Homo-oligomer: A and B are copies of this chain.
């Protein structure tokens, strides 16, 4: 499991005062980017130095309660499954409610596939990605 901690910012909420639902997806992708960077292979490096990318073929989120600007959140991500050319991450988003307590505010899933950047063709998951995912 990988944990990523951050704070909800003003611009992530919408006019209803709560975090806009699409931004939860940004949040779990941020967590994945930080995980990859922690393992020496952030998205910036992949784009500069590799010939594959890891686009999503599926994303889903169940929302349990709202997030507000200033809320301290933790994203907990883990690899649910790895196939030949794809992997599934599951994500829990937790909100701090004081005294080291937290509650789950959303549960999501993202499915990433490895694709040759120029040809746009699906390829087997690069070995380095498998190794890094095994550390999550």
A23 within 8 A of B: yes
**Which residue on B lies nearest to A20, using beta carbons?**
B11
> Which among B16, B33, B34, B110 is the interface contact of A47 at CB below 8 angstroms?
B16
Shortest CB distance A44–B (Å) = 3
Could you tell me if B60 and A44 are in contact, using CB atoms closer than 8 angstroms? no
Could you tell me if A55 and B18 are in contact, using CB atoms closer than 8 angstroms? yes
Cβ proximity bits A22-35 to B, threshold 8 Å, 1 near / 0 not: 11011001100110
Which A residues between 51 and 107 are near B, CB-CB below 8 angstroms?
53, 55-63, 66, 68-71
When distances are taken between beta carbons in the complex, the residues of chain B under 8 Å from A45 are 70
Could you tell me if B63 and A60 are in contact, using CB atoms closer than 8 angstroms? no
**Which residue on B lies nearest to A41, using beta carbons?**
B70
Shortest CB distance A8–B (Å) = 8
Most B-side CB within 10 Å, residue of A7, A20, A63, A110: A20
Q: If the complex has contacts A57-B62, A70-B44, are A29 and B18 also in contact, measured as CB distance less than 8 A?
A: no
Could you tell me if A29 and B22 are in contact, using CB atoms closer than 8 angstroms? yes
How many angstroms from the CA of A10 to the CA of B21 in the assembled complex? 11
> Which residues does A use to contact B, with CB under 8 Å?
7-11, 13-18, 20-23, 25-26, 29-30, 33-34, 37, 42-45, 47-48, 53, 55-63, 66, 68-71, 110, 117, 120
